[in-house]
């Protein structure tokens, strides 16, 4: 089972390397959206710092939404999902591998470039560090929740709109705790509670998402 998961992660990672333009376009989208907030809010440092947590995390959430439609689409078209579904546990393991690969090619790079976006808001060093850690801890939850929503809307007409409508409300707790951790760091208090909640949400999402998404995929393929 572990070997099969590693195979799926490696396969997804290699496919992502062949579509580097998609990865860079999502990261570029994140940078562009975060750059619009300082332009619209003006140059006041205090205003920018207040906007920073919500603006940065909202931009990350929107970038995550854009990356979800292709999570299962290619495998659905070429029949790979049907091959995964032949085994009792293989489909759930494949979903777990795809979630892990999605975080490696999207969530981790997003967390690494977030400090560059945070500098536009004048964030001090410690809040920038908390921002990076919060995104690294919270994006697995976005990937897990997104996998379930992507599975539920696979092959449907207007599936991308439905995917956004399903995922956005479920993303709100991650957004609240992620932005709250950065706000707490800006206030000079400890952000450990917010980061712990994010880690718990990610663990729950990664644990429950594979069987739930696998069940949804089986229904959609019948």
pLDDT tens sequence across 54-84:
999 999 999 988 888 888 887 777 777 777 7
Dihedral sign (CA 153, 155, 156, 160): positive
Q: Whole-angstrom Cα distance, residue 210 to residue 91?
A: 8
Query: Which pLDDT does position 153 carry in this prediction?
Result: 87
For residue 183, the model assigns a pLDDT of 92
| Across 200-220, average pLDDT | 88
Q: How far apart are CA 153 and CA 165, in angstroms?
A: 11
Residue 135 pLDDT exceeds 90: yes
Mean pLDDT of the chain: 87
- The pLDDT assigned to 89 comes to 65
Q: What pLDDT shows up at residue 184? A: 92
Residue 159 clears pLDDT 80, i.e. is over it: no
Backbone angles phi, psi at 44, to 5 degrees: -65, 120
Among candidates 160, 148, 4, 10, which has minimal Cα distance to 70? 160
Is the per-residue pLDDT at 88 higher than 60? no
Collect all residues with Cβ–Cβ distance below 8 Å to 89 and sequence separation of at least 6: 1
Using CB atoms within 10 Å of the CB of residue 144, give its burial: 0 to 12 exposed, 13 to 18 middle, 19+ buried.
buried
- Please state the pTM of the whole predicted model: 0.89
Q: Could you state, in order of their start, the residue ranges of all structural domains in the chain?
A: 2-221
- Tens of pLDDT along 7-61? 888 888 888 888 878 788 888 999 999 988 888 777 787 888 888 899 999 999 9
pLDDT exceeds 70 at position 167: yes
């Amino acid at each position: 089972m572990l070997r099969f998961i590693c195979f799926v992660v490696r396969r997804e990672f290699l496919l992502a390397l062949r579509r580097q333009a998609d990865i860079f376009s999502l990261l570029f989208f994140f940078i562009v959206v975060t750059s619009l907030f300082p332009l619209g809010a003006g140059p006041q440092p205090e205003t920018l710092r207040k906007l920073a947590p919500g603006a940065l995390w909202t931009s990350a959430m929107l970038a995550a939404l854009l990356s979800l439609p292709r999570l299962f689409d290619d495998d659905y078209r070429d029949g790979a999902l049907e091959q995964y579904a032949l085994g009792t546990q293989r489909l759930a393991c494949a979903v777990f591998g795809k979630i892990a690969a999605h975080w490696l090619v999207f969530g981790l790079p997003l967390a690494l470039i977030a400090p560059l976006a945070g500098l536009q808001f004048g964030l001090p060093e410690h809040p920038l560090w908390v921002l990076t850690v919060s995104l690294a801890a919270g994006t697995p939850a976005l990937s897990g929740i997104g996998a379930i929503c992507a599975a539920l809307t696979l092959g449907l007409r207007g599936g991308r709109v439905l995917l956004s409508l399903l995922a956005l409300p479920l993303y709100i707790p991650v957004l609240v705790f992620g932005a709250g951790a950065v706000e707490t760091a800006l206030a000079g208090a400890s952000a450990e509670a917010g980061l712990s909640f994010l880690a718990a949400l990610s663990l729950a999402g990664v644990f429950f998402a594979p069987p739930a998404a696998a069940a949804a995929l089986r229904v959609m393929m019948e």
